[in-house]
Amino acid sequence: MSEQTPLQGSTYALASEHAGVFRTGFLPWLADNMHVWAAFQREANRIWARGRRHYSARTIGEVLRHESALAEKGGEWKLNNSHFPDLARLYLLVHPERDGFFELRYQSNTPRAAA
């Protein structure tokens, strides 16, 4: 696990408390990629501050992938698409007052669908 600042540690703790809403493997990935989370959150906050109240997590991920040198640790890809939905779920846990900013979808055959 990467070294974390106290704020990042509290975000990781919040994610751990709600582990059931995330895809299997997200929490270990997050532990090593808090820098990706920080960039995702910064971009989402920037969009919120500009007045948008609904946005796409995938669009934020694509912006980060194509407009920055940001890369995840230990991954096959620069930024893997499969983590964007979980980053959106984490964002809404950290910022509950922004409910509805991302549309969350659940598949009936996943553990998080029961939550």
pLDDT tens digits for 58-71? 999 999 999 888 88
Instruction: Please report the pLDDT score of residue 4 as a whole number.
Output: 47
Helix/strand number for the chain, H first, E second: 5, 0
Residue 92's contacts (CB-CB under 8 Å, 6 or more residues apart) are: 98, 99, 101, 102, 104
Instruction: Please report the pLDDT score of residue 69 as a whole number.
Output: 86
Cα distances from 107 to residues 35, 72, 77, 104, 113, in angstroms, run: 28, 26, 25, 10, 6
How many Å from the N-terminal Cα to the C-terminal Cα in the chain?
A: 27
Instruction: Please report the pLDDT score of residue 74 as a whole number.
Output: 78
Structure-block tokens of residue 53: 């109240």
